[in-house]
């Protein structure tokens, strides 16, 4: 049952604090300096100062191979780099079923989507969406929930109550241990959707339909809502976590008071870690407030690994899945849980300190022109270029850094074309968190594909742009009206990020 909070005249007052950050308050002089640094550019003939360092002092050099997203923050000390490497080992660890002689690695499942964190976040990059026949699906699954008006945070405006499916939980697992039925098999059918630019050029988009086939435990709930998800890239998470909530909320405009057509608003989620409502930051709908909760939830839901935040030894198994609940589990040794707090802390440290690669070609005339097109089209209204992180007592790697993630961290209505029709906390069925764009130009190098958006339907950056609707619809129309040289410059700019 969700805890209750008192009434707040300001709908965001409950989430202005950052209980996960040991932050030093900013002085008025610092605030003025930051405002000046973050002001939009006036000149597109040259790059902005420090624009080539998207992760601030944590920015890493670009490796020429698939390891470009797997480097520690450049400003980590020697001892911290050792912790990073140990966390990397746990991130890559292949979990096995219990009982096992390898006690530190047992506890897999009994239902699961992957046997390691790395299996979803391959090379710390984007997941690999399946093809049209859904074969070779890697790091894609379906979230699931049903409406539940009783599951709300009191006095939080627009909180949309949902509950797990009574049989299948909060996500569908397509793998299971021997003797236990998997929950489903993912099927995808694509329909062609032509889109034509003003100059007559036509692009064929893929419009997907998802089906949960071969259900292992009977039909879904009649009101079940499904949402496809592909694992996002991992870089820069600690820097996003270190942005003051107040700075993110300053960009919120739920009623479009400035009349620009953009109505970004924060997701408000319940923190299992701090037992209070917090600003949602992570996940495709900003459904997790911290890297700790996101990581712990992934261990439980994706791998079936119990941990101090999500303690059930059987992971996602419901009361109906009797064989799953009665299967041997790996949390009956000195760890207490299948991954204990020390192990979880190391995975979080690793996830927090995956370095953002440096920009490329920032002073190239084509890239600079593309940057101007990006601003003129209105893309920067949601893909907010830069922030300054909090000054922190305990995280020098993320402390007081000028960063360039190109996201406002807010929810935006993206229209019916991208809608999954499944709410998550405050996020409606048509809303998604603005995706960070840093590193997006290295997707092919790291992940071996160029498939974007929450379900990988877009096969190129331009296809991803053309799927934008809702609040982003006017920006999309401007792109459709552009001559090809401007479109090419826009893509060049995105590829430089």
Question: In sequence order, what are the beta bridge partners of 165?
Answer: 169
Q: Is the pLDDT confidence value at 134 over 80?
A: no
User: So what's the pLDDT on residue 170?
Assistant: 94
CA distances from 29 to 77, 138, 388 (A): 30, 49, 14
Q: What's the pLDDT tens digit per position in 424-474?
A: 999 999 999 999 999 999 999 999 999 999 999 999 999 999 999 999 999
Mean pLDDT of the 36-60 span: 97
Pick from 130-139, 410-419, 468-477, 486-495: least confident: 130-139
Q: Say if residue 244's pLDDT is above 90.
A: yes
Pairing state of beta strands 402-403 and 391-392? Answer: unpaired
**Burial class, 138, CB count within 10 angstroms (exposed 0-12 / middle 13-18 / buried 19+):** middle
Distances (CA, A) of 128 to 84, 121, 299, 464: 25, 9, 19, 16
Per the CB < 8 A criterion, the answer to whether 158 and 310 are in contact is no
Question: Is the Cβ–Cβ distance between 161 and 152 less than 8 Å?
Answer: yes
| Domain presence at residue 18 | no
Confidence class for position 152, pLDDT limits 50, 70, 90: confident
pLDDT value of position 160: 81
How high is the pLDDT of residue 103?
A: 80
- % pLDDT > 70, the chain: 96
The pLDDT of residue 158 is 79
The DSSP annotation for 205-222 comes to EEEEEEEEES-BTBPPPT
pTM tops 0.85: yes
Is pLDDT above 60 for 188?
yes
Find, among 53, 27, 48, the residue nearest to 401 by Cα: 53
Task: Give me the pLDDT at residue 9, please.
Answer: 54
The stretch 88-94 carries a mean pLDDT of 97
Where is average pLDDT lowest: 177-181, 334-338, 415-419? 334-338
The DSSP code sequence of 311-378 is --TTTT--TT-HHHHHS--S-SSTTSSSS-HHHHHHHHHHHHTBPPBPPS-TT-HHHHHHHHHHHHTT
229 is a domain residue? yes
Asked whether residue 245 is domain-assigned, the answer is yes
Total domain count, the chain:
1
**Residue of higher predicted confidence among 115 and 2:** 115
Confidence of residue 8 (pLDDT cuts 50, 70, 90): very low
Of 495, 497, 489, give the one whose Cα is nearest residue 365.
489
Residue 319 domain flag: yes
How do residues 359-408 score in pLDDT, each as one tens digit? 999 999 999 999 999 999 999 999 999 999 999 999 999 999 999 999 99
At 138 the pLDDT is 58
**The pLDDT of residue 124 is above 70:** yes
C-alpha to C-alpha distances, 383 to 38, 90, 131, 245, 494, nearest whole angstrom: 13, 33, 29, 17, 11
What is the pLDDT, as a whole number, of residue 149? 81
Query: What is the structure's pLDDT at 135?
Result: 47
Sort 196 into a burial class: Cβ within 10 Å, 0-12 / 13-18 / 19+.
exposed
Structure confidence at residue 413 (pLDDT) = 97
Is the pLDDT score of 24 beyond 80?
A: yes
Please give the backbone phi and psi of residue 3, each rounded to the nearest 5 degrees, phi first.
Answer: -65, 155
pLDDT band per the 50, 70, 90 thresholds, residue 7: very low
In a domain, 168, yes or no: yes
Q: Reply yes or no on whether the pLDDT at 53 is more than 50.
A: yes
Residue 411's pLDDT band (boundaries 50, 70, 90)?
very high
- Top pLDDT among 335 and 15 is at 15
pLDDT at residue 2, rounded to an integer: 39
Nearest one of 167, 151, 84 to 124, comparing CA atoms:
84
Q: Is the pLDDT of residue 3 over 90?
A: no
Question: What is the maximum alpha-carbon separation in the chain?
Answer: 67
Pairing verdict, β 431-433 and 162-163: unpaired
Query: Is residue 8 assigned to a domain?
Result: no
- Position 133 scores a pLDDT of 45
Q: Is 6 exposed, middle or buried (0-12, 13-18, 19+ CB in 10 A)?
A: exposed
pLDDT of the residue at 132 = 52
| Residue-range definition of the domain harbouring residue 131 | 28-496
Query: Which pLDDT score is estimated for 367?
Result: 98
pLDDT at 131 over 80: no
Q: Is 392 part of any domain?
A: yes
Asked whether 80 and 397 are in contact (CB, 8 A), the reply is yes
Computed over every residue of the chain, the mean pLDDT equals 93
- Tell whether 447 is covered by a domain: yes
């Amino acid at each position: 049952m969700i805890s209750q909070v008192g009434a707040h005249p300001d709908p965001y007052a409950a989430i202005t604090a950052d209980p996960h950050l040991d932050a030093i308050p900013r002085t008025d002089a610092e605030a003025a300096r930051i405002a000046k640094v973050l002001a939009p550019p006036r000149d597109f003939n040259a790059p902005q100062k420090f624009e080539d360092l998207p992760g601030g002092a944590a920015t890493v050099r670009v490796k020429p191979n698939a390891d470009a997203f797997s480097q520690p923050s450049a400003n980590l000390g020697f001892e911290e780099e050792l912790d990073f490497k140990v966390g990397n080992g746990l991130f890559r660890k292949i979990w096995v079923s219990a009982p096992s002689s390898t006690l530190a690695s047992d506890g897999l499942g009994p239902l699961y989507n992957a046997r390691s964190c790395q299996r979803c976040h391959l090379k710390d990059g984007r997941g690999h969406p399946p093809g049209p026949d859904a074969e070779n699906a890697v790091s894609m699954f379906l979230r699931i929930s049903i409406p539940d008006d009783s599951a709300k945070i009191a006095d939080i405006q627009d909180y949309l109550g949902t509950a797990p499916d009574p049989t299948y939980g909060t996500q569908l697992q397509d793998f299971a241990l021997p003797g236990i039925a998997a929950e489903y098999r993912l099927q995808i059918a694509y329909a062609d959707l032509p889109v034509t630019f003003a100059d007559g050029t036509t692009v064929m988009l893929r419009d997907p339909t998802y089906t949960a086939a071969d259900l292992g435990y009977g039909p879904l709930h009649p009101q079940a809502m499904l949402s496809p998800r592909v694992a996002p890239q991992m870089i820069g998470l600690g820097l996003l976590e270190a942005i003051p909530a107040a700075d993110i909320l300053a960009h919120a405009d739920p009623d479009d008071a400035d009349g620009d057509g953009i109505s970004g608003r924060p997701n408000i989620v319940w923190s299992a870690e701090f037992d209070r409502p917090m600003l949602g930051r992570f996940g495709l709908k900003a459904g997790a407030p911290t890297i700790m909760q996101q990581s712990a939830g992934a261990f439980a839901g994706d791998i079936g690994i119990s941990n101090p935040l999500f303690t059930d030894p059987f992971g996602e198994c419901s009361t109906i899945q009797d064989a799953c609940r009665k299967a041997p589990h790996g949390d009956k040794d000195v760890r207490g849980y299948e991954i204990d707090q020390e192990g979880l802390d190391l995975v979080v440290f690793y996830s927090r300190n995956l370095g953002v690669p440096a920009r490329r070609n920032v002073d190239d005339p084509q890239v600079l022109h593309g940057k101007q097109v990006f601003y003129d089209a209105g893309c920067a209204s949601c893909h907010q270029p830069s922030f300054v992180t909090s000054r922190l007592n305990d995280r020098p790697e993320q402390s007081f850094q000028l960063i360039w993630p190109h996201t406002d961290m807010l929810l935006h209505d993206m229209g019916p074309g991208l809608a999954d029709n499944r709410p998550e906390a405050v996020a409606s069925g048509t809303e998604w968190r603005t995706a960070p764009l840093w590193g997006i130009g290295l997707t092919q190098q790291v992940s071996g594909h160029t498939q974007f958006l929450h379900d990988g339907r877009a096969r190129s950056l331009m296809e991803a742009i053309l799927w934008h609707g809702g609040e982003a619809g006017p920006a999309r129309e401007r792109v459709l009206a552009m001559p090809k040289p401007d479109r090419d410059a826009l893509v060049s700019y995105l590829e430089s990020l």
